[in-house]
Amino acid sequence: MLFEVEDISCDKCSDKIEQAIRAADPTAQITVKTDEKRVRVEGVLTAEQAMAALAAAGYSASEAAPHSGEGSECCGGCS
């Protein structure tokens, strides 16, 4: 899942986001791209659960649009 998180501004944010997601899913793989304001989460969480974990940590998130760059779940089959 790929999320847009507008409030990401530094590595501290990245650490806080990773801690929030890992609290909900300790096995999750998380990639935070601070400069792109995007977070990729791979694990057992639903999108709603991941967004709730981010919100609890103080970060408003929305699902990134399909085909929206690296980390999207685009299969490449439609272009």
Q: Provide DSSP, 33-60.
A: EGGGTEEEEESS--HHHHHHHHHHTT--
Q: Cα separation of 69 and 46, whole Å?
A: 21
Residue 4 gets which letter from DSSP?
Answer: E
Whether CATH 3.30.70.100 fits 2-63:
yes
Domains of the chain by residue range: 2-63
Tell me if the pTM is above 0.85.
no
Model confidence pLDDT, tens digit, residues 20-76: 999 999 999 999 999 999 999 999 999 999 999 999 999 999 998 765 555 555 555
Residue type, 46: T
Scan for tokens 């806080």, then name that residue.
16
- pLDDT given at position 79: 45
Q: Quick one: pLDDT band at residue 11, thresholds 50, 70, 90? A: confident
pLDDT of the residue at 68: 58
Q: CA-to-CA distance for 63 and 48, rounded, in angstroms?
A: 9
